[in-house]
Amino acid sequence: MFRKRPPPEEERRVRANDREYNEKFQYASNCIMTSKYNIITFLPVNLFEQFQEVANTYFLFLLILQLIPQISSLSWFTTIVPLALVLSITAVKDATDDYFRHKSDNQVNNRQSQVLIHGLLQNEKWMNVRVGDIIKLENNQFVAADLLLLSSSEPHGLCYIETAELDGETNMKVRQSVSVTSELGDPNHLASFDGEVVCEPPNNKLDRFCGTLYWRDKKYALTNQNMLLRGCVLRNTEVCFGLVIFAGPDTKLMQNSGRTKFKRTSIDRLMNTLVLWIFGFLVCMGVILAVGNAVWEREVGSLFQSYLPWDPPVDNFLFSAFLSFWSYVIILNTVVPISLYVSVEVIRLGHSYFINWDKQMYCSQCNTGAEARTTTLNEELGQVEYIFSDKTGTLTQNIMSFNKCSINGQTYGEVMDPLGTQPKRLDFTPFNPLADLDFCFYDEKLLESVKVGDSQTHEFFRLLSLCHTVMSEEKSEGELVYKAQSPDEGALVTAARNFGFVFCSRTPGTITIAEMGRSVTYSLLAILDFNNIRKRMSVIVRNPEGRIRLYCKGADTVLLERLHPCNQELMSITSDHLNEYAADGLRTLALAYRDLSEEEWESWSESHRFADKATDCREDRLAAAYEQIEQNMMLLGATAIEDKLQEGVPETIAVLSLANIKIWVLTGDKQETAVNIGYSCKMLTDDMTEVFIISGHTVQSVRQDLRKARERMIELSQTRDGGKDGGVEGWIESCFMSNGYKEEKGEDTAGGAGGGGEGREGAGGAKELPCSAAPAPNSNLMDSISGEFALVISGHSLAHALEADMEMEFVSTACACKVVICCRVTPLQKAQVVELIKKHKKAVTLAIGDGANDVSMIKSAHIGVGISGQEGIQAVLASDYSFSQFRFLQRLLLVHGRWSYLRMCRFLCYFFYKNFAFTMVHFWFGFFCGFSAQTVYDQYFITLFNIVYTSLPVLAMGIFDQDVPDQRSLEYPKLYEPGQLNLLFNKREFFICIAQGIYTSVVLFFVPYAVLSEATQSTGVPLADYQTFAVTTATALVIVVSVQIALDTGFWTVFNHVFVWGSLSSYFVIMFALHSQTLFRIFPNQFHFVGSAQSTLLQPVVWLTIVLATAICIVPVLAFRFLKLDLKPQLSDTVRYTQLRQKRRKLVGRSGGGAWRGMSSVSDGRLGTRGGSRRSGYAFAHQEGFGELITSGKNMRLSSLGLATFASKHSSSWIDTLRRKKNTHTPPNTSGECSPAPSYVSVSAPPLSNASSVLGGSQDTPVEEETVTAPALSVPTVQVSSTQTAPAPASEAAAPQGSTEATSASTIIATAVRSHGGDSPGGWTLSLGTLQEALFGRKGITARTGASNSPGLSKEMNQTE
């Protein structure tokens, strides 16, 4: 553990079969140790780590003070018992975790491996393997260390590996030895191998290795293709040999297992600040009481010196005050709660288990449940404002199918049937016995083109069958299985296979395909591999006739610009096809080829060989060589692959949007594909105010596009709001003057320097601006924009927008939009966008992705979520939470996240309240005991109060409490907003809790003091003694805090009842035991309160005092809460009130009482009906959900009309008002604004039905009905269930316009609705707008009417009638 670390390596030198040479470099052994402790070091190291916590160190300091007799008036065990308990719990947890790490380490280190030592193969444990050893691996064995592959039993030195433990990918990958060592297959030859490898030092890059092998006076370049990494498994290879390059902690697997950045929640940071404040408050109280002690000792205490002299060390009143200060620091230390941090961790652990156990987040298809991979961020899930999502594999399934293609200007795959019948799927079996039976294609024209021998079509599929890195495996005769590194490649090779060009097998130098039934073997001259920068892949092959040809496939943005000029006409047609495919949401690639002469190939091969063997800048040299040959290509066509949308994505995005969560999609796909995905996911809709597209390639053009977008937003917002505030021009002018856009006369801002200065002015508040007092840029004005806007920005534009002088302009524009889509972005840009929002917005961010390219984004966000999909588990390994479907995100946030935040806030509020109520009694007592640091309570009560009497009830509340059920949390997304605004626990709430605690302490001290000072027993003996007062005050305290937590608990479980009432009972049991004569006889010096409990609690006046103190403490709290509920209810209060009314009306209905009666025969009316979509049909083959209904508000209901009472009485939205006051840099959701409720319903509004939601909500709580004077109004609920009900037929959903208007006119004649059941004697007026705004913040809500829209409605009507 304390071994001196060797200096960092600049390069690594390894000589085969020479341990003495290699040991002088002090390379790490192959023994891994992920554990932190051993038996000897556990106690000191663990205690050292625990005392890094400020709170633990503080209490250790108090313990030392308590050991000084002149200071402490409390026994040492009052501090050491809680401290030891906290330290022990943490130590047991750490020891358990480390035990399992030890167990795992031992299992791995003791695996057996065959090592070549002195020419003989010997079995050695993995932990004894050293750098420079040669290891023999057999089929299905794990690779023991990072090896250089020397030879293999397969031809050409090939071997196959599976890298699931490294990157989660289960498909096989091929590795090849250097040709010069591939013949060293015999152990005797390998024993004489003395080659030396010089390579890069240990690093964590799994896909990169650079080194050189020196042997027999020659050098050979080494790449990642020559390496077998620890954690891989050898597959389909009988035997191979490898040279150990990196061992143990130096292997890439262990280098990647380093700890990720520790993430803390906002509540953690606030809690640390509050604890420091409390400590400051403690010091202030100590100073006040010390000053009081000095004054008392000088003025009064001196009179008692003759018979109460000071203790020997004290010789004056100042020294007495000094000691008194430290004594009170000890006594009042419980305001800084020692058990707070441990309790918080226990609660978070419970919340994590709830996430892991949630069956509704379990995917049966993948056999994967949700997993909380961290326990520190649960409450942060209830505060998310921005979600950054990948597209492929996150919103889509990442299961690819070949859908369309363009060959030589002719498009295939569009099947238009005039009769509207389902087109017939092509049967490839008669044409091609090797066809994949699962492949679907419908256009016969393409198959006919292949059959007639069209040369361009044949060349197209020949390219697809040759230009890839797929591995084939023949399971049985004629049954080929492809192992592809990406689903795209697998889909393209499968398409070529079905159309007659079957990829059969490959070797390092050849590719064999079956062309129209004829086997053809091509010589593979070079592979120009794909990466995120090149965005293309090429192969160079020689056909049997000797002709050399380069085949290339890649993104159209990079491939089309490398074509020969003669392709202009074909490129124009193909580009149109690519745009059509992208508009259909398909993933596109362009295909091209180039013929090479022998001379061109030889010349380029030499430069490529030189670049490949370079030891410095090798990758850059190779990229330049690839760029040189991939020019002047001939266009063949393009492919379009369909990636199906995941189930429930539109509904999830709609619900999250209603919760005021902004969703940004960051994808590498082209703009058209990303935009169409946006429409399919219902992020973008035709009802949006405007969609802005930023696609400039220069700084100036991007700046101009962003400026125009902001101007347009403000203009449309002003028009929408009626042209207030002096008109559009004045607003725009003030807006951009404050942003540094108001140009000075004669100033040229067109140049790059001017642009940079402009951005700096905007970011810093330029001194030349008239409105320089305004913050940069115009955040207040942008926040007040109303309307639904979307922003689409390309990777080129984003690169400029992320520059320092323009980032504020991008942030202000993007954050004013409801949806942002960034396309063609790199993994680094994804992380930069997340960091930008974290930097400029005080908002919690969440990133969700499924692939390795999302890891940086996931690690950058406050919360990272990984989806275990088709791209391995690298995203999952880097994440904080993981599950298998995007739709589970709404439950993670709206249910678990909201509950965790609510529970943690209630826990903290109560925790601080009870500690101040408990401790401040000592403060008041100090003024009545001569500031002598005498405690009010028995010392055992002080010890047990926090760890026995009050610990379990607050833990039960923190783990199990909920304000509304999970179904209601999903039905009413607006319930999520208090967490975003941090309303439930902040500095204001903290001071309210402290004030309540101080008030309680005043009552608990002065009421017993006032009563008992004059009270007497029935025998006439006075009750005004210290011990009676202590027992009375302690009993009142325990009862008051128990009643208080009973009031604070919103959801009672068996655990809550047992813990609350059990803790209260335990107080009396323990108190009577501690005050018993038995303990006093055994320990007469420790138990001074003998008989106090029995004698005190037998007096009626004591119980009267306790009841009086409890009433004075609790009644104001009850009164305040009732007034708040009546005058300013929160949405959660309203939802709970609705549930109570539902239950009450169900009972009344069952007993024959009246029920809400509405009109079930009205027509289906719509508000703001969408026009026909301007977009073409979307190609995603997924079940149509209810996302469109949710986003338009057409399928929302109010569970009870009783909810309208609150909405109409308290119509202003307190949440949105607070949002504007707090200036959270978030544009107000116009759908969330609530205006005063009018006393009428607009004539233009069609009638709203009583139809229940498509889901039906809770089946046991149907929409109640009662006889009214006007048709009952229905307000929406959100579709949340994963079980989807089939929508009503169009014939039932539609209604004649005339009948709608007629019914609408008749509906609004009577607007006053009076409750039948008599909850309120007076009438009340209902406003549709008020209900919509109060519940969902949506103004333009369209409702469905007619019983036919809900299967359960007719039945419900019949029952209620």
- Which residue bears the tokens 């959801």? 1051
Residue 388 phi, psi dihedral angles, 5° rounding: -110, 115
What are the backbone angles phi and psi of residue 676, rounded to the nearest 5°? -70, -35
Residue 158 three-state SS: strand
| Cβ atoms of 135 and 157 closer than 8 Å | no
Contact call for residues 369 and 883 (beta carbons, < 8 A): yes
Burial of 1076 (0-12, 13-18, 19+ CB in 10 A): middle
User: How far apart are alpha carbons 144 and 229 in whole angstroms?
Assistant: 8
Q: Residues 985, 986, 988, 994: is their CA dihedral positive or negative?
A: positive
Cα 882 to Cα 863: distance, rounded to the nearest angstrom: 11
Q: What is the maximal distance between C-alpha atoms in the chain?
A: 125
For residues 896 and 351, the answer to whether their CB atoms sit within 8 Å is: yes
- Taking the C-alpha atoms of residue 1023 and residue 1027, their distance in angstroms, rounded to an integer, is 9
Nearest to 1188 by CA among 1209, 1163, 1168: 1168
The catalytically annotated residue of 390, 436, 443, 556 is: 390
Q: Are 920 and 328 in contact (CB under 8 A)?
A: no
Q: Which amino acid is at 677?
A: I
CA atoms of 602 and 613, how far apart (whole Å): 17
Q: Own/partner pairs for 302-310, CB < 8 Å, 24+ apart?
A: none
Give yes or no: 417 in active site. no
Pairing mode, if any, of strands 789-794 and 819-823? parallel
Task: Quote the CA–CA distance of 407 and 499 in Å, as a whole number.
Answer: 14
The CA distances from residue 992 to 626, 780, 899, 997, in Å, are: 68, 30, 22, 9
- The Cα-based distances of 1313 to 1141, 1201, 1270, 1300 in angstroms read 16, 10, 7, 22
| 479/1132 Cα distance (integer angstroms) | 60
The residue behind tokens 């063997």 is: 613
Tokens of 881: 């939470």
Q: What are phi and psi of 432, to 5 degrees?
A: -145, 105
Q: How many helices, marked H, and strands, marked E, lie in the chain?
A: 48, 37
Per-residue tokens: 827 = 């993994």
**Distance between start and end Cα atoms, the chain:** 80
Paired tokens of 413: 């795959």
The DSSP symbol for 1199 reads S
- Reduced to 3 states (helix: H, G, I; strand: E, B; else coil), residue 271 is helix
Instruction: Give the sheet arrangement for strand 218-222, strand by strand.
Output: 12-15, 196-199, 211-215, 218-222
Nearest CA-CA partner of 1343 in 1309, 1291, 1312, 1304 = 1304
478: left (phi over 0), alpha (psi -120 to 50) or beta: left
How far is the C-alpha of 1170 from the C-alpha of 1186, rounded, in Å? 15
Residue 489's nearest CA partner among 536, 528, 452 is 536
Alpha carbon distance 1028, 858 (integer Å): 60
Q: In 1308-1350, which ranges are continuous DSSP H helix?
A: 1328-1335
Radius of gyration of the chain (CA): 38
**Catalytic residue list:** 390
